Amino acid sequence: MSKRLSDSKYLRWGILILVGFILSVNYYFYDAFSTLKDLLLREFGFTNTQYGLFVAFYSIPNTFLFMAVIGGIILDKLGIRRTGFMFIFFMAFGALLTAYGASDMYQDGLGYGLMSSFLPRYSPELKMMLLGRFFYGLGAETSIVVVSKILVKWFKGKDLALAFGLKVGFGRLGTFAALNLSPVLAKGGEALDVAVWFAGILVCIGLLAFIVYILFDLKFDKEVQEKQVLLTEKDKFKISDVWDILTNRAYLFIALLCVTFYSAVFPFVAFAPDFFADKFGMSDVVSGRITSLLPLGTMVFTPIFGALIDRIGKGATVMIYGSFILLIVHLTFALTNFPPYILMVLLGISFSLVPASMWPTMVKLVKEKEIGTAYGLMYSIQNLGLWGFPILAGMILDATNPGNPEILNYTYAILMFAGLGFLGLFFGLMLKRNDKKYGLGVDQPLNKK
């Protein structure tokens, strides 16, 4: 072949589809339990706070053990293949443990007696599911960092924002499928284990897909070596480079926007089907379908916004618009009875604008040798919110609905999400101001001229 693999547009987009599938099954598993919340509460006696703890446990390894940061550093040191296989394996192992804890076979199987012997306040099912969620989260966030670096490797200077937009679209495709398929598979609780095992097996197929990617990555690196493109000592990542990232003004504002914005979306999605069922009297299936309008809108709009950002820039401005829409949607949910259909589409547009500009912009702000660490730091900061706010939302629900009634009042919990949207808007405005003042380049087009 006379040119590098990444110069073949067909192969490049094929790689995107391959790693996009890995991302889709990751998000499918993360969101598969959103429409099963009521079933988990009935089947295993979970409280709202315990469900929030289950959602939040995903983020513990990345928040308190800094695994997303460590994973990013490992990625910059060891490369895509070894890092990706290791953490996607953790993700698949955790998914299987979680599914096992929620399945019928667990009650008479391995580990049930051990999990029953301590912390009697929590059911054995919850404890096994928390353990699985921990390993799943340990691998899942770094796997997203790996996918991000893969896209930078294959698409830098070649429609990178569009590629990231499609990457986000693949993730939302997983969410859309989970919100619609998971309650159907569960059949109102009759086949709960079928729904959770299906989600776990999908993640294992994602691991097989990454093994296929490794074959292409080996060929890619072989061609680079044949061209004698060698790294000098100056080009290699050093631990001291972390300080360069943390002192980058634009990076810090984007990181703060990231944690507040995502904390106002992902935890909300985890509670949204139950919120719609309680406020509007909808069934689990209908609530799941309405919630799935968010990822559906994101799948459509994120690639479009990404393509525009490649060509005209305005990344900081786009983040501001997205944060403003998020704030308005949550305020409307909390304070009015406006039907949720249009609001979820608007939330999907908001969730297209910010990621379409946020993630590819990072390539302009840090050196190529720091990409993995920069994304890892960002995901670790993001996980601080993804850990804390689902628990806080569950605590608010239990505190504002004494006696654990069948129909919950979600007003105060949604207002919390609106407050996060306001903070995201503030950080977006600060990013825009500093971009103008210091010429950081956030609003510049991404494609090479």
- Counting beta carbons within 10 angstroms of the beta carbon of residue 4, is it exposed (0 to 12), middle (13 to 18) or buried (19 or more)? middle
How far, in Å, are 164, 238, 286 from residue 144 at the CA level? Answer: 11, 22, 30
What confidence score (pLDDT) does residue 371 get? 82
In the predicted structure, residue 188 carries a pLDDT above the cut 50: yes
Mean pLDDT over residues 316-336, rounded?
95
**Contact in structure between 446 and 364 (CB atoms under 8 Å):** yes
Percent of the chain with pLDDT over 70: 92
Question: What mean pLDDT do residues 346-363 have?
Answer: 88
Average pLDDT in the 304-316 region? 85
Q: What is the pLDDT of residues 49-85, one digit of tens each?
A: 898 899 889 988 988 888 888 888 888 888 899 999 9
Concatenated DSSP letters of 65-77: S-HHHHHHHHHHH
Contact predicate 242/373, CB 8 Å: yes
Q: In angstroms, rounded to a whole number, what is the distance separating the alpha carbons of residues 253 and 265? A: 18
pLDDT for residue 443: 74
pLDDT over threshold 90, residue 429: yes
The fourth-level CATH superfamily of domain 9-228+237-438 is MFS general substrate transporter like domains (1.20.1250.20)
User: Tens digit of pLDDT for each residue in 228-261?
Assistant: 454 554 556 566 677 778 888 888 899 999 999 9
pLDDT at res. 238? 64
Question: What are the tens digits of pLDDT across the range 96-115?
Answer: 999 999 888 888 888 988 98
Host H or E run for residue 325: helix 315-335
Residue 433 has pLDDT above 80, yes or no: yes
Q: What is the pTM assigned to this prediction? A: 0.79
Q: What is the pLDDT of residue 2?
A: 42
Domain map of the chain by residue range?
9-228+237-438
Query: What pLDDT sits at residue 235?
Result: 56
Whole-angstrom distance, CA of residue 143 vs CA of residue 125: 26
437 CB-near residues (< 8 Å, 6+ apart): none
